[in-house]
Amino acid sequence: MTRTLEPEKQGLYDPQFEHDNCGVGFVANIKGVKSHDIIEKGLQVLLNLTHRGATGADPETGDGAGVLMQMPHLFLKEECRKIGIDLPAVGRYGAGLVFLPRDVVQRNRCEELLEYYVRQEGQALLGWRDVPTDNRLVGRTSREGEPVIRQIFVGSRAADPAALERKLYLIRKQVERRVRESDLTEKSYFYVPSLSARVLIYKGQLMAHQIEAYYPDLSDPRMESALVLVHQRYST
């Protein structure tokens, strides 16, 4: 009898197609019609990919999960208006999710660096928004490493959306390098998952079933997109 670590080929199953990789899925409206329903369906796809993720000793701390969508302009414009930020038309501003240190002094330093590179690239800082979060369902390990999460809004000084996208990329890469090379003791907390005029990302060291509860924004019916890309991370 031959011993093997792989299961045998049988029926429609073939072990050569077996891979230990992340789970990725998407939902899109082929006519480009934005709706909250697309986001809800995307979150359901993410739930269906739970088996592609993993946990360690803490069963409520996952390898990570995330959601990418088109810029939810209506939602952001109304939320930003409440805090005194007047967002321009779609394509004339960028928005980004930013993970920041818990220490106030170090957090301020990271924000100042990000604002510095916004100015260096000739763009306008529109403001910051505190992203609502609820960590009651996440695991102990995830809470211990939980950053402060904010959104930054950057206004364009040019009418070319492609040029703005390039500027936002340069801003993100420069500030990440600057913080990485700094002497900040909490620099590992700093990360910019997205900074774009076209898409917005919500992610974290979460399990698939935790992300919607952790980010109440995702349940808001004003948050609409014609496509959603989801990712269930598997750390290898």
Catalytic residue IDs:
22
Q: At what angle do helices 161-180 and 104-120 cross, to 10 degrees?
A: 140
Eight-state DSSP code of residue 146? P
Give the C-alpha separation, 161 to 148, whole Å.
29
Contacts of 163 (CB under 8 A, 6+ apart): 156
Question: Tokens 């924000």 identify what position?
Answer: 111
Question: Which pair of structure tokens corresponds to residue 4?
Answer: 């093997």
E strands present in 90-177: 93-100, 124-130, 148-155
Give the C-alpha separation, 191 to 146, whole Å.
12
Q: How many helices (H) and strands (E) does the chain have?
A: 6, 8
What is the CB neighbour count within 10 angstroms for residue 143? Answer: 14
Question: Which pair of structure tokens corresponds to residue 188?
Answer: 């590992």
Contact 217, 49 (CB under 8 A): no
